[in-house]
Amino acid sequence: MGRRVAVLGQGYVGLPLALRATEVGYAVVGFDVDKERVERLWAGESYIEDVPDERLRAALETGRYVPASDIAACADFDVAVIAVPTPLHEGVPDVSYIEQACELLGPYVRRDCCVVLESTTYPGTTTEVVAPILEQASHLVAGEDFRLGYSPERIDPGNETWKLENTPKLVAGVDGASLAAVKAFYDTVVEETVEMKGTAEAELAKLVENTFRHVNIALVNELAMTCGDLGVDIWEAIRGASTKPFGYLPFFPGPGVGGHCVPVDPSFLSWRVRRRMGQTFRFVEMANDVNEHMPDYVVRRLTLGLNRRCLAVNGATVLVLGLAYKGNSTDIRESPAVPVVEQLLELGARVRLADPLAGPSPLDSQVTRVEATEAEAAGADGVVLLTDHDAFDLDALAAASCYFLDTRHRVAGEAVEYL
């Protein structure tokens, strides 16, 4: 396997991969169409929470990591990895970023090089989208002249235990030679690779992982709503069920699902089934319905809690703890906290928002950003915990509050009410 690597996309997936490849000895071009991003990388300023500035600067100092916004810098690559976003638009997968990356990379594809797609997508993308574009631009044939494969990303932002290098990596190719090339590269980057039968199976495996989570989160979220009306403690029921050493895996309720993976990936599978077979993937459709409406339920519970205290949402001061989609993360993509805040604003609440990690958001012009202090909690008519950052002193905040809606089951107290 050659020593020159190009990583297209320097986001949550591409940047950690580019730096890891640099650290194990490859000469790496980190390509991104965002010139401002590339400038920040050259300045040693990381915009990814899992990549400290010190690690980025160390990679730059080796001279082997070169950020670039000019695709020509990727010429003569031995391995190219495509790690670009794949968003959903009204339930339809948008693979335009993959297509653009392939169009840019195609002229530089040469014999015996290896191209790997890491972006999460529907089964068939590698062979039906990536291969034709690369073949047309290079006048070469995938599998025969150059190697082509798929290896789904498994990055979990903020996870201190499972990182790129120690998380098993699925590898697949369009033929045996391609599989061997993809595996040879990742064997030098991660501790364990797992061979897959084909690229479609590897693409599906990624969707299976997050569909499993999505469906089970929806199950406990619906149970939480039902148990709330029945007056049964869902958290205690889950605690009891979790003592069973076999046949059960605990999932927990929350204000909804967020991030790029869980709310998005299952819909790739649902869309593919609907388009190819004319059928609905009922589990995914139901899970989408439940999880998308959890922010509505949070607002309803907060409204009822205020009403019991003879207060209306309209005109009430509400302290919202957390905007990121999960604890100890800066990521607000698809965060359920956003629709919760939007609905509170529509109902006339005066929202004060505390999140020490999340950066600027479109909501900032409508809310007051504050620090999560006991004084803020005491001055609010209601406090709602949406994101359980370790930086929050939740016990102190709950003790200072007159009403505290805990959607994460993190604190106890007289004023605390659970989802």
Task: Classify residue 84 by burial, with Cβ atoms within 10 Å: 0-12, 13-18, 19+.
Answer: buried
Catalytic-labelled residue, pool 74, 113, 261, 402: 261
Q: Which of 171, 89, 173 has its CA nearest to residue 126?
A: 173
Tell me the sheet residues that pair with 81: 7, 116
Distance CA 199, CA 205 (A): 10
Task: Classify residue 414 by burial, with Cβ atoms within 10 Å: 0-12, 13-18, 19+.
Answer: exposed
Whether 74 sits among the annotated catalytic residues: the reply is no
Contacts of 179 (CB under 8 A, 6+ apart): 149, 171, 172, 173, 195
CB 46 within 8 A of CB 58: no
From residue 243, give the alpha-carbon distance in Å to each of 235, 237, 246, 260, 418.
13, 10, 9, 31, 21
Element (H, E) at 208: helix 199-230
Q: Which of 70, 98, 100, 71 has its CA nearest to residue 86?
A: 98
CB 217 within 8 A of CB 226: no
Distance CA 213, CA 189 (A): 27
Side chain identity at 5, as an amino acid letter?
V
Element (H, E) at 213: helix 199-230
Q: Which of the residues are catalytic?
A: 261
